[in-house]
Structure 1
Amino acid sequence: MRTFVSALAVILALLLTGFAVPAAWTERNIVREDGFVQLTDGLGKDPAFQARLAGIAVNNIEAALELPAPAEELGASLLQDAARNMSSWPEYPHAWNETVRRSHRLNFADPAGDPASQSAPPAGQASDQSTAQATDQPTPGAAGTSLVLDLGPFVNLLKDKLQAATGVQLTVPDTAVVAIGGPSQRQVVDRLAAFAPMWWPAALGAVMALALAVLAARRRSAVLLCTGIGLAVLAGVWQAATVLFSGLAGAGLGESAMGALFARELIAASAAGFAPWIGATAVAGGVLFLMGLLGLVLLGRRKPRTAPAG
């Protein structure tokens, strides 16, 4: 009975660990705003993604741009430069980080209870919502029902550049909400926000289950050995899952070209960010395995030898 209870406790500890570790990483790097900003810091450096960001910001401000005749040529020249070289501007990293922060607040806010998700006005109008999503244009009503990027910081950056160059005061909307995923992707985000913070009860349960296994076991070294093997298996499963999930990056995620690019880069960044956690789990498993193996060897040497009969 002690062996049976110990085995069940080890299995329970491993199952809880299998949930707790990925959930803890997700809560820290996806659900939390600061972690998400750090995780996505490199996304804005992808050339194709940069071109999309610049193109949308330029198109959006052109729609609301009314410059006097003497400043039209200068404004057009600056916008052309922005479309090609915005990513090289010193203000670009700050604008990208602010875009990520705004977008995180929209995507992880409660659609029913957050005023920002309901009242955030679109930066431009599209003739049809599906057309707007397909062409990466600002989408009316996207916030709260879809995954979105708020490119308002880039639009405001362009406004400041134009004002400084032309001396003309411009008025543009503060937000430029672009849909990058539909309601199904939004539901996934809502589930992550709901379940990821539950990692700590699972982690506490795993520790308690392992303690029970050690206390109930007839051979505690065997518990350590089996737990070490289980953690190594978990690390292998997580590694295989990240490779498989990374393969989905080119499988049409997102509902627009912008969404597909963002999903691809985010999945790649997530796989790279989770890799050290996988490595730490594998190392912990190896340490427990060696401890258990050493304990079994020492226990075998301490057993008294029975004298031969006769």
Structure 2
Amino acid sequence: MTGFAVPAAWTERNIVREDGFVQLTDRLGKDPAFQARLAGIAVSNLEARLDLPAPAEKLGASLLKDAAQHMSSWPEYPQAWNETVRRSHRLNFAETAVPSADDSARSAHPASGDAATETSLVLDLGPFVRLLGDKLRAATGAQLAVPDTAVVGIGGPSQRQVVDRLAAYTPLWWPAGLGAVMTLALAVLAARRRSVVLVCTGLGLAVLAGVWQASAVLFSGLASAGLGESAMGALFARELIAASVAGFAPWVAATALTGGALFFAGVLGLILRRRRNAAVRAAG
């Protein structure tokens, strides 16, 4: 039960919950390769819909070229990335996502790309496209019709099914966690040698921590496969998995330390028990 409860609790908190996912993916928005690809896709998306008047064409082209190279240095970039992550999370997790504390601060834009987003994983780059549109309006004075959404696929139906299963099953971590705690408590209360129970529990937790760590290393090695066939999906997968492994590491360490503490408490109890028995035999 512990083997399921701890990873599920971490996943529910950091992947399924919107606020946790935003915090987890913060490092993705700072990755230079990912920034460059985001900027390039946002610029291409706007260029395909752009119809500037002749006097503003040259200025607009220059701004878009600069955006493709330096948009990540703009002061508005972090907020655009944050909104992109929130929008994308809501699209990918649909109605299963847990509401965040920032609901009141979100813009009230409906999700789009309904048919595609129901069967695949996507990023909604609409905030970046809107940011580019605002810059163009300010620079050229032209009235531009900028799309509110710009959905980019990062994974197919099989990856979407994995996300749906995570959203469905990870909230069950708390019954498993409660069951693990109650089982340990009953075992300690019913055991003739409680110290042995503590020793075995400590060893079990240490083994679990080792299995989780090995699984994390193995999972990291599979990251190059990506979430889909696109380069964007592969890059997103690699960075997300790296962030997840780094984020789960403290939980692994805490489990190992808890196991070590229980093990040494059990060993200490066995030592004290033997000394008591020796003293009783000597007195008899």
TM over 0.5: yes
Shift of 1:142: 2.0
Shift of 1:249: 0.8
Alpha-carbon contact 1:227-1:288 (below 8 Å) kept: yes
| Runs of 4 or more consecutive aligned structure 1 residues displaced over 6 Å after TM superposition | none
> What residue number does 2:105 align with?
none
Give the Cα separation in 2 of the matches to 1:176 and 1:228.
Answer: 50
> What residue number does 2:196 align with?
222
Alpha-carbon contact 1:28-1:35 (below 8 Å) kept: yes
2:69 matched to 1:95?
A: no
Secondary structure of 2:117's counterpart equals coil
Structure 1 letter corresponding to 2:35: Q
2:231 matched to 1:257?
A: yes
Structure 2 letter corresponding to 1:75: G
Q: Which moved more, 1:46-55 or 1:183-192?
A: 46-55
Give the Cα separation in 2 of the matches to 1:142 and 1:74.
Answer: 35
Q: Of 72, 75, 78, which aligns to 2:60?
A: 75
Alignment of 1:109-128 (within 5 A): 109-110=94-95, 120-121=111-112
2:276 matched to 1:302?
A: yes
Give the Cα separation in 2 of the matches to 1:53 and 1:226.
Answer: 50
1:165-207 deviation per Cα after TM superposition (whole angstroms, max 9, x unaligned): 0011111210001110000000000000001100100011001
Q: Of 35, 43, 48, which aligns to 2:33?
A: 48
Shift of 1:48: 1.5
TM-score, structure 2 as length reference: 0.91
Give the Cα separation in 2 of the matches to 1:29 and 1:252.
Answer: 20
> What residue number does 2:23 align with?
38
TM-score, structure 1 as length reference: 0.84
Alignment of 1:111-260 (within 5 A): 120-121=111-112, 141-260=115-234
Shift of 1:155: 0.2
1:109-131 deviation per Cα after TM superposition (whole angstroms, max 9, x unaligned): 149xxxxxxx7445xxxxxxxxx
Secondary structure of 1:254's counterpart equals coil
1:43-69 deviation per Cα after TM superposition (whole angstroms, max 9, x unaligned): 011122111111110011111111111
Structure 2 letter corresponding to 1:159: G
Alpha-carbon contact 1:95-1:157 (below 8 Å) kept: yes
Give the Cα separation in 2 of the matches to 1:246 and 1:253.
Answer: 13
Q: Of 2, 5, 13, which aligns to 1:28?
A: 13
What number of residue pairs does the alignment pair up? 268
Secondary structure of 1:225's counterpart equals helix
Shift of 1:255: 2.4
Shift of 1:306: 4.6
1:66-85 deviation per Cα after TM superposition (whole angstroms, max 9, x unaligned): 11111000000000000000
> What residue number does 2:4 align with?
19
Secondary structure of 2:116's counterpart equals coil
Structure 1 letter corresponding to 2:228: G
Structure 2 letter corresponding to 1:255: E
Alpha-carbon contact 1:98-1:153 (below 8 Å) kept: yes
Alpha-carbon contact 1:142-1:178 (below 8 Å) kept: no
